[in-house]
């Protein structure tokens, strides 16, 4: 065991899990590649869990942060005017498409979701919330309560009364083989049934990820949330889209993931990629909902001048370089390539994704059951070949990948080659065993 790993094990929580049999320390990065402490280089297809959204060592972001540092001001607090916050809020409000939108900045996705849930429960005078099965929304009590994945749920203590919906679980036997339209109809019926049987009085909101991140990039068919929204609107139930993983053009076909469903939600939460590694999260909400709270509030570090400099530079970069179109282009190359390879690889149970957010689900070919062991094997094989991937899914058998939106077509082809090759090697091992 390396010295650093031994020290990590001694002082860090044992539930803070590390990837790889021999965990790596990343000590450098440029473009879409990183280097570990041994000097080995990797094409980064996980980007610090979708957070290094435009890659490493980006001059525009570095210079913006350095300009702010040079003023001598790292923090002032929200009791003074913060130009960076106002500028970023104006951009996000405009991009959101939400009516009279207002923005509140936090330090993380968890805090962003807490804020959205507070706004919704306050506006609706209700503690009842709907969420999706297999979801992940963060690690505070409110965020855990709308999380639906036992591996990530440390407590059932809840400030909210939560009911979970079908909609991202087509793998269940009862839904398998259904057309999109039939599955959507079944899920809308489930929503109506939950509203008829499980709630008392008004429901505050539905919170949902357009593509479930931790859930293994499982997703509802396009159109489900529009169908849900008809039912929700009839009762005045608000809709919160958790865009922590799906925002800023990552899905290629839309700037925010929920737009793939033709829906403008009442609120969206964001974090991860917006600061390209600097800590920034937030909520963009209808102005009346944001302004509805009666008490004052603030987040001390939320929207601090450094993170705002980084986030403004990152968002400008995404827009100036039309990285949404790049995500569509490079993502299509990879997803099409994976779909082409899948039929000759019995270990592959499913390929799914949108833009630069794609996943490979691994199964035991003899039983069709999820295989976390093969997923672990894939992680080691791709590490050896110089590519960083992520793992997830309800059963730990999903390889999820989300490279920086700056990925070039050459890098997309290179990464696809490494992934397919790793799958072929593992498939051959399984078939011959
Ligand atoms: C969809 C989603 N929402 C919320 C969160 C929580 O964000 P954070 O870890 O910044 O608190 C995450 C983190 O992975 C996420 O994927």
Partners of 285 in the β-ladder: 102, 267
Q: In the chain, what percentage of residues exceed pLDDT 70?
A: 100
Structure tokens at 244: 């922590």
108 CB within 6 A, ligand 1: yes
Q: Which atom of ligand 1 is nearest to the CA of 109?
A: 7
Q: Helices 409-432 and 323-341 meet at what angle, rounded to 10? A: 20
Q: For the CA atoms of the chain, what is the radius of gyration?
A: 21
Q: Span 42-53, mean pLDDT?
A: 98
The Å distance, Cα 105 to ligand 1 centre, comes to 15
Q: Which atom of ligand 1 is nearest to the CA of 214?
A: 16
What is the reported pLDDT for 431?
Answer: 86
Cα 363 to the chain's mean position, in Å?
23
Give CA–CA dist 166/158, Å, rounded.
21
Would you place residue 390 in the very low, low, confident or very high pLDDT band (cuts 50, 70, 90)?
very high
Structure tokens at 295: 């008490």
Q: What angle do CA 295, 301, 307 make, to 5 degrees?
A: 130
Q: What is the pLDDT of residues 125-160, one digit of tens each?
A: 999 999 999 999 999 999 999 999 999 999 999 999
Tell me the whole-structure pTM to 2 decimals: 0.98
Range 237-255 burial, b when 16+ CB lie within 10 A, else e: bbbbbbbbbbbbbbbbbbb
Q: Among 108, 216, 272, which is best to mutate for testing ligand 1, by the most ligand atoms less than 8 A from CB?
A: 272
What is the reported pLDDT for 433?
Answer: 80
Name the phi and psi angles at 171, rounded to 5: -75, -15
Report yes or no: 117 and 146 within 8 Å, Cβ to Cβ.
yes
Strand order across the beta sheet in which 26-30 lies: 26-30, 33-36, 41-44, 387-388
What is the reported pLDDT for 220?
Answer: 95
What is the reported pLDDT for 403?
Answer: 98
Distances (CA, A) of 325 to 317, 374, 407: 13, 33, 11
Strand order across the beta sheet in which 358-362 lies: 348-353, 358-362, 398-401, 390-392
The Å distance, Cα 207 to ligand 1 centre, comes to 13
Q: What angle do CA 204, 210, 215 make, to 5 degrees?
A: 100
Higher local confidence (pLDDT), 1 or 337: 337
Residue 217 region, left (φ>0) first, then alpha (ψ -120 to 50), else beta? Answer: left
Residue 42 class from Cβ within 10 Å (0-12 exposed, 13-18 middle, 19+ buried)? buried
209 CB within 6 A, ligand 1: yes
Residue nearest to ligand 1 atom 16, measured at CA: 213
- Helix segments in 51-205, DSSP class H: 59-70, 83-96, 109-124, 141-145, 180-197
């Amino acid at each position: 065991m390396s010295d650093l790993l031994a020290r990590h094990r001694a002082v860090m929580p044992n539930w803070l899990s590390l990837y790889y049999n021999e965990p790596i320390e990343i000590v450098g990065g440029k473009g879409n590649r990183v280097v570990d402490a041994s000097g080995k280089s990797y094409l980064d297809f996980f980007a610090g869990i979708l957070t290094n959204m435009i890659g490493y060592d980006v001059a525009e972001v570095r210079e913006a942060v350095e300009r702010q540092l040079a003023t001598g001001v790292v923090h002032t607090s929200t009791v003074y005017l913060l130009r960076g916050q106002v500028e970023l809020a104006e951009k996000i409000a405009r991009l959101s498409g939400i009516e009279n939108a207002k923005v509140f900045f936090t330090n993380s996705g968890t805090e962003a979701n807490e804020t959205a849930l507070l706004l919704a429960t306050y506006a609706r005078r209700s503690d009842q919330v709907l969420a999706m099965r297999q979801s992940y929304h963060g690690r505070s009590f409110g965020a855990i309560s709308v999380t639906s994945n036992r591996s990530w749920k440390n407590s059932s203590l809840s400030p909210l009364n939560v009911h979970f919906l079908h909609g991202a679980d087509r793998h269940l036997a009862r839904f398998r083989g259904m057309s999109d339209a039939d599955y959507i109809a079944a899920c809308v019926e489930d929503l109506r049934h939950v509203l008829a049987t499980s709630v008392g009085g008004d429901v505050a909101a539905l919170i949902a990820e357009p593509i479930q991140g931790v859930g293994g990039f499982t997703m509802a068919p396009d159109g489900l949330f529009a169908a849900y929204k008809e039912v929700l609107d009839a009762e005045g139930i608000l809709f919160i889209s958790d865009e922590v993983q799906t925002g800023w053009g990552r899905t290629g076909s839309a700037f925010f993931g929920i737009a793939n469903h033709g829906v403008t939600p009442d609120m969206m939460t964001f974090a991860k990629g917006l600061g390209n590694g600097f800590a920034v999260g937030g909520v963009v909400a209808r102005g009346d909902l944001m302004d509805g709270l009666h008490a004052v509030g603030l987040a001390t570090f939320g929207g601090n001048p450094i993170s705002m400099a980084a986030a403004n530079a990152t968002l400008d970069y995404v827009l100036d370089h039309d990285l949404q179109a790049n995500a569509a282009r490079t993502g299509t190359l990879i997803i099409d390539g994976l779909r082409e390879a899948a039929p000759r690889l019995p270990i592959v149970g499913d390929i799914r994704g949108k833009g630069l957010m794609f996943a490979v689900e691994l199964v035991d070919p003899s039983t069709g059951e999820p295989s976390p062991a093969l997923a672990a094997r894939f992680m080691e094989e791709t590490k050896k070949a110089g590519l960083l991937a992520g793992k997830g899914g309800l059963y730990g058998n999903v390889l999820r990948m989300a490279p920086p939106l700056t990925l070039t077509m050459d890098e997309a082809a290179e990464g696809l080659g490494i992934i397919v090759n790793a799958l072929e090697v593992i498939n051959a091992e399984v078939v011959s065993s």
